[in-house]
Amino acid sequence: MSDEARVWERALRMRELLLAGDVAGLRSLCDDGFWERVGEIELAPLSRDAESAEMLGVLGRRSLMLVETPRGEVPRWALEQQWAGDAYLVEDQRLFSLVDRAEVEASGDAQRLARLQTKLAAQDAGARYAARLAAHDADGVAAMWTESFREAHGAEVLPRIGDVRAAELIAGVGPRTLVRCRFDEGEETVEVLWREAENGWLVQGARTFRRPPAGGGAPEA
């Protein structure tokens, strides 16, 4: 079994335990230091509120899962986890969500607005980026790249824009957003890192999560 297939298998087990509300089981999939630092604080409430969960993909030793929590304060989370060691235990994770800009601005809470300024700006940029991908606007998409990103990835990304069947901003954290893209042959979720520039927020970096190939020994989600 490939490394990514093994990560996929462990992440599917994480999904199963989250939906079962099995905190002890979740604990068994986590490194001791991670669990004590943040794992219990974040995963226990997530398991309490989770109504459904969908695996989005893996990248190396990282997995990405979309968790619907309609009963919670935040109705949806994306959970990115990093798996380490021969036992494939979670050693780190990042939680992504969306914030309602209109609600934040209407609250009149200046400190909250200032605290969320980067997240909101990245969300706005991510939504525009997804819309341009869905519209097959290659020039518009490329206009949102830094020069370094264009030089490193433009030749690879530009030819695929016309193949996008749908694109949606699904979550974000700080200057990072997740854009889910669907193609005829499947789908992938791109984690985009944004950088503020004179002409707006631009794509500084990106990494893509995909399901492991069927022949890689990965079980079905």
Q: From first to last of its 221 residues, what are the pLDDT tens digits of the chain?
A: 889 999 999 999 999 999 999 999 999 999 999 999 999 999 999 999 999 999 999 999 999 999 999 999 999 999 999 999 999 999 999 999 999 999 999 999 999 999 999 999 999 999 999 999 999 999 999 999 999 999 999 999 999 999 999 999 999 999 999 999 999 999 999 999 999 999 899 999 999 999 988 655 555 55
pLDDT at site 220: 57
Domains parsed from the chain with CATH numbers: 3-97 (3.10.450.50), 101-209 (3.10.450.50)
125 C-beta neighbours (distance < 10 Å), count: 23
d(CA 54, CA 158): 28
In terms of Cα–Cα distance, which of 60, 54, 55 is closest to 2? 60
pLDDT at site 1: 82
d(CA 129, CA 102): 20
Tokens 């002890």 belong to 24
Put simply, whether the predicted model's pTM sits higher than 0.85 gets the answer yes
Dig out the tokens for 186 from the structure. 């499947």
Residue 202 has phi, psi (to 5 degrees) of -125, 155
Please return the burial class of 203, using the count of CB atoms within 10 Å of its CB with bins 0-12, 13-18 and 19+.
Answer: buried
143 C-beta neighbours (distance < 10 Å), count: 13
Can you tell me whether residue 1 is helix, strand or coil?
coil
DSSP one-letter string for 125-180: HHHHHHHHHHTT-HHHHHTTB-HHHHHHHHHHHGGGGGG-SEEEEEEEETTEEEEE
pLDDT at site 221: 59
- Encode 83-137 in three state secondary structure: EECCCCEEEEEEEEECCCHHHHHHHCCHHHHHHCHHHHHHHHHHHHHHHHHHCCC
pLDDT at site 219: 54
For 160-176, b/e burial (b = at least 16 CB within 10 A) is ebeebeebbbbbbbebb
CA distances from 71 to 30, 45, 99, 180 (A): 25, 11, 16, 24
